[in-house]
Structure 1
Amino acid sequence: MAAYRRVVAVHAAGARHGSPEPMLATLRPVPASGDGVAVEWKYDGQRTAVVVDPTGTWIVSRNGVDVSRTFPELAAIGDEFGGRRVILDGEIVAVDAQGRPSFTRLQRRWPQHRRPTPTLLREVPVRVLAFDIVALGNRSLTGLPYCERRDILAELTDGLTSPVLTVPQSFSDVSPADMLQIAGQHGMEGVVVKRVDSPYVSGRTTLWTKHPVRSTAQLLIVAFWHAGGPGGARSVGSVLLAGHNAAGDLVVVGQVGTGFSASTRRHLFELLDPIRRTDPPVVSAPEVPGAVWVQAETVGEVAYREYVAGRWLRHTSWKGLRDAVDPATVAVPPVTAPLDP
């Protein structure tokens, strides 16, 4: 079973259980055609394997850690399979008030290995969205094509009654680009495109590709950190970003350290080094050890996945400078997810 690795799942009986090493999608441009592929929604949650056998149910994280204690309600998944050994691949999600998976909400169930209080279990319920099956009984299904594994999963879960297990829909003969547009319109994270003939292959592969919905914002650079390594003293590693809120105050909204070329890092240093200042140009300045404050006059554009009220932009990447934008007009981006109570 090449798609498996053995991990020690520690539980009361001290037994050992196999968990699948997950098949990981690769970030790629959206395919022009939907021929030969299936499209699934991309969910903002925690990747997991659900290992069920006659002795119990185990929830195993992407890196092979038993997190059953963190999500005790998911043990009920085992009741659906009548004592048969099953290994599912899926995503643990917690939904927001709009019914959409919210990574921010899910984080309330962390740190891992901490058993949640009854109050937390009520306030932040979770479920597994199972999108693949890699073993049934003593048989590995990893060599079967995706379409056959999905058929087996559908048959196995027909009449499913568990409130903590859902099999999300898989769409075929559709345009991946159209699906990504729909995902953006409904505040979803994106789509995953899967070859219908793909076996289950451990690790990163282009047989599955991921396509996140990304928003962009034009923001002011208010501080920078030096890059590490040779030449880092005259190069920017990352920058702190801010925008004006409704009251007109300049407030920090995030940080970006990816998407820069080496030449861009040097060019940014040349722009920012002459406009250093000793005090922050923002209100309610956060603690940012090692940062160099600068005048708030340089506008850049970033892509990001989510902006949570009261927190920072998530999954940012640098797009470029925007010299034509008046710094006075730069505003904080619209909130894409509320701060979870």
Structure 2
Amino acid sequence: MPPSISSPPSPMLATLGRPPAGEGWAFEMKWDGQRAVTDVRRDGIRLFSRNGNDITSAFPELTGPIAAAVDDHDVVLDGEIVALDAKGRPSFARLQRRMHVLRPTAQLRNEFPVTYYVFDVLDLDGESTVAKTYLERRRLLDGLGLSGRRVQVPPFWTDVDGDRMLDLAREHHLEGVVAKRVDSTYRPGRRAPEWIKTPLRKNTEVIVVGWVDGNGAARNGVGSLLLGAHDDDGDLIYVGHVGTGFSAALRRSLREQLAALERPTSPLAAPPPSRDAKGAHWVEPRLVGDVEYREYSGGSLRHPSWKGLRDDKTPDEIDLPGRH
């Protein structure tokens, strides 16, 4: 019996771009969740986040269903943990209630249940499958017959137009599509052009570098967050501020978290515009968040809206909007 892996393979990542045209591509829907590599052995099961953290205890309701679904196979799976809304659509806002809780209560698990969407298999019964093509790996995955209330294998489509897939994602209020070369091997830890993601809404990860106090109804919390990202030289530069997308409770919670990271000077390589920095509290650049935005042409995000913090990505991974 193969031993459980001490550290999982890093998941393969997609590049940002338009849906490709022509033959040789398979399309999957893009799920608004948390990436997770799962190691299932007869002596136990472990779930790992994209950056290799063990998140098994954060999603205890998944371990039994995943183990039951794979039956007596030893397997390493790649997929996405999602929280579905009342209409059965992945909701990142609902997932936020679970992502940062290491040991959720039964009540929290019942109120915000999660499901594991599996879309790849990296090892099967002790044999690595990463050198096999996408279609070969999907056949192996389909052969496992994974199904259940907490484990699903979403479909994929070939010989279909990428723009039509994007229209379908829009009609069903999904996040977008991912195109994968049918002959592509699995490249752990690589952001490869063989996988192309196309979100319907522009979305980017950012580093929180500071905050400005709120006023009025938001006076006990953050009014806006100051945001940064790394440029091509690796310098941490300012990319704008966000003041929408927060509940009153979240504004207070974020202020408490950021107060513990406060520092006297800006962590940015160059000062932001003085109008944005007025009254700013600077923090150590340790927290990563998600924002939606209309456009970024350099300098500052336009019409950003806060989606939430992420603990599955590290600050050194965050580059400029439109690059990931």
Determine if the TM-score, normalized by the shorter chain, exceeds 0.5.
yes
- Name the aligned partner's letter for residue 316 of structure 1: Y
Q: Which is higher, the Rg of structure 1 or of structure 2?
A: 1
Question: Which residue matches 1:93?
Answer: 82
Work out which of the residue numbers 176, 186, 189 in structure 1 matches 2:175.
189
CA shift, 1:289, in A, is 3.8
Question: Which secondary structure state, in structure 2, belongs to the residue aligned with residue 41 of structure 1?
Answer: strand
| SS of structure 2 residue aligned to 1:116 | coil
Query: Which of 121, 130, 143 does residue 131 from structure 2 map onto?
Result: 143
Q: Secondary structure at the match of 1:60?
A: strand
2:68 corresponding residue in structure 1: 79
Q: State the 1:64 CA deviation.
A: 1.0
Q: Secondary structure at the match of 1:20?
A: coil
Aligned partners of 2:72, 2:61: CA distance in 1, in Å?
A: 18
Structure 1 residue 314 displacement after superposition = 2.7
- Name the SS for the 2:56 alignment partner: coil
The question of 1:56 aligning with 2:58 is answered no
Q: What does residue 284 of structure 1 align with?
A: none
The code of the aligned residue for 1:128 comes to: Y
The Cα offsets for residues 135-154 of structure 1, whole Å up to 9 and x where unpaired, read as 10010000100001001111
Indicate which of 300, 315, 330 corresponds to 2:292. 315
Contact map agreement 1:227 1:237 (CA 8 A) in 2: yes
Work out which of the residue numbers 15, 31, 39 in structure 2 matches 1:43.
Answer: 31
CA shift for structure 1 position 16: 5.1
TM-aligned CA distance change 1:84 to 1:288, over 3 Å: same
Distance 1:16 1:237, change over 3 A: closer
Please show how residues 113-124 of structure 1 align to structure 2 within 5 Å.
114-124=102-112
1:238 paired residue among 227, 234, 240: 240
Deviation at 1:52, TM superposition (A): 0.6
| Alpha-carbon distance in 1 for matches of 2:290, 2:126 | 45
Partner Cα distance (2:290, 2:79) in 1: 26
Q: Kindly provide the amino acid, as one letter, of the partner of residue 84 in structure 1.
A: H
Alignment of 1:8-19 (within 5 A): 17-19=6-8
Equivalent residues of 1:59, 1:74 under 8 A apart = no
TM-score, normalised to structure 2, is 0.65
Q: Go from structure 1 to structure 2 and tell me whether the alpha carbon gap of 1:54 and 1:18 turns closer, same or farther (over 3 Å shift).
A: farther
Change (3 A) 1:82 1:238: closer
Retained in 1: the 8 A contact 2:242–2:304?
no
Larger RCO of the pair (alpha carbons < 8 Å, separation 6+): 2
Unaligned 5+ segments in structure 2 are 204-222, 231-236, 245-271, 283-288, 308-324
- Closer, same or farther in 2 for the Cα pair 1:161/1:227, shift >3 Å? closer
State how many pairs are aligned.
243
Change (3 A) 1:180 1:83: same
Distance, in Å, in 1 between the alignment partners of 2:142 and 2:165 is 22
What residue is the counterpart of 1:210 in the other structure?
Answer: 197
Aligned-residue offset at 1:58 = 1.0
Shift of 1:166: 0.2
Matched, 1:129 2:117: yes
Shift of 1:110: 2.9
Q: Which of 19, 24, 39 is equivalent to 1:30?
A: 19
Structure 1: where are the runs of 5+ without partners?
A: 1-8, 10-14, 217-221, 230-234, 243-267, 280-286, 291-311, 322-331, 337-341
Alpha-carbon deviations, 1:176-227, whole Å to 9, x = none?
Answer: 11111221222110000000000011121111010000279xxxxx999799
Distance 1:111 1:172, change over 3 A: same
1:201 counterpart SS class:
coil
TM-score by length of 1: 0.62
Q: 1:199 to 1:119 in 2, by over 3 A?
A: same
Indicate how the Cα distance of structure 1 residues 333 and 146 shifts in structure 2: closer, same or farther if over 3 A, else same: closer
Corresponding residue SS for 2:19:
coil
**Residue identity opposite 1:32 in structure 2:** A
Paired with 1:236 and 1:18, the residues of 2 have a C-alpha distance of 34
Identity across the alignment (%)? 38
* Letter in structure 2 aligned against 1:318: E
Task: Answer yes or no: is the 8 Å Cα contact 1:133–1:141 preserved in 2.
Answer: yes
Given that 1:145 and 1:198 are in contact with CA atoms closer than 8 Å, whether structure 2 keeps it comes out as: yes
In 2, are the aligned partners of 1:129 and 1:166 still within 8 Å (CA)? yes
Partner of 2:45: helix, strand, or coil? strand
Quick one: which amino acid aligns to residue 186 of structure 2? Y
Determine the C-alpha separation between the residues in 2 that align with 1:134 and 1:227. Answer: 34
Partner Cα distance (2:123, 2:173) in 1: 33
CA contact 2:201–2:292 (8 Å) conserved in 1: no
- Does residue 167 of structure 1 match 2:180? no
Q: 2:185 aligns with which of 182, 195, 199?
A: 199
Report the secondary structure of 1:69's partner residue: helix
Partner Cα separation in structure 2 for residue 313 and residue 72 of structure 1: 25
**Residues 318 and 241 (structure 1), Cα distance of their counterparts in 2 relative to 1, 3 Å cut:** farther
When structure 1 is superposed on structure 2, of 129-138 and 179-188 the one drifting more is 179-188
Q: Which amino acid aligns with 1:74?
A: L
Q: CA deviation at 1:49?
A: 0.8
